[in-house]
Structure 1
């Protein structure tokens, strides 16, 4: 099986020793994406909705760099530092995916890198 790293400057660069995503013969595995503005390299001020939109736009840019689209996701994992944000994030999520919706898990976690409130990773069909 081939493992091809995917990199785009339309999404934030990795903040550690990992790839933005790895493509195999048929699937794209993204790393967790937090709401970093790819132009500034920082998490901008804003609501959980603003941050969720930024995360999904960044994941979409990575998917496009691999020759696919975010709405071809087969599995999505959402990490939140406050599970009470789930409904608000879910409303944003519904703007990026259509039926049949990908399988999904959502978890509350104690903390995320750079103090982010949300992190999302996806497995996307190529």
Structure 2
């Protein structure tokens, strides 16, 4: 059938020739020595594996500004009535989010004050709140609080204390409470928080 034969010839012409041992060297050498540049390029395309896509210089140019842009970080290390004497920032903020370091029951000199569970919770929370204010944030800006306990048996007391701080659950921040193997200074509780401003 003439049409079938024509289609078969077109299929063979479009299909790459099967690779045989010695084809890589002989094909490239023959086309290169013959001076037919187009044939040589075509042979290289058939013999070499596909190249991995690389972004164009124009695309790379558009990302250079992002690499050079440094995120502005503001740190709170001291302030009136804030605990002192630590080898870390009391708070660090960037892009409207402020991370407050964990605080047990400390006085303004950074000295631990032992007390009942409720007394230590109040003192630790007072330190967190004072640091937040020094960094420019308020109670309503609190988005996350992490409470670390020396004894998870105080969990019910944590909830009672928490309700006193946030009587309206719709305005309470998210919270994560867990027990640690031990807390600094033999504290019963340590509190860490994250506050944020609307962008």
TM-score higher than 0.5 here? yes
What do residues 7-40 of structure 1 show as CA deviations (whole Å, max 9, x unaligned)? Answer: 324221253x2100001121110011111111x5
Q: State how far apart, in whole Å, the 1-side matches of 2:176 and 2:74 are.
A: 26
Matching residue within 81, 84, 106 for 2:177: 106
Structure 1 or 2, whichever has the larger Rg, is 2
- Of structures 1 and 2, the one scoring higher in RCO (CA 8 A, sep 6+) is 1
Runs (4 or more) in structure 1 with deviation over 4 Å come to none
Give the length in aligned residue pairs. 124
Kept after mapping to 2: 8 A contact 1:59/1:70: no
1:37 aligns with 2:37: no
Q: Secondary structure at the match of 1:77?
A: strand
1:57 aligns with 2:135: no
Q: State how far apart, in whole Å, the 2-side matches of 1:94 and 1:12 are.
A: 26
Q: State how far apart, in whole Å, the 2-side matches of 1:123 and 1:87 are.
A: 23
Give me the TM-score of the superposition, normalised by structure 2: 0.58
Would you tell me which structure has more strand in proportion to its own residues? 1
The answer for unaligned runs of 5 or more in structure 2 is 1-70
Kept after mapping to 1: 8 A contact 2:91/2:98: yes
Q: Secondary structure at the match of 1:76?
A: strand
What is the aligned partner in structure 1 of residue 74 from structure 2?
4
Q: Secondary structure at the match of 1:10?
A: coil
What do residues 46-101 of structure 1 show as CA deviations (whole Å, max 9, x unaligned)? Answer: 21000000111111100110111134211111100101111112222223234232
Would you tell me which structure has more helix in proportion to its own residues? 2
Alignment CA distance shift 1:24-1:14 (3 Å)? farther
Query: Cα RMSD over matched residues?
Result: 1.6
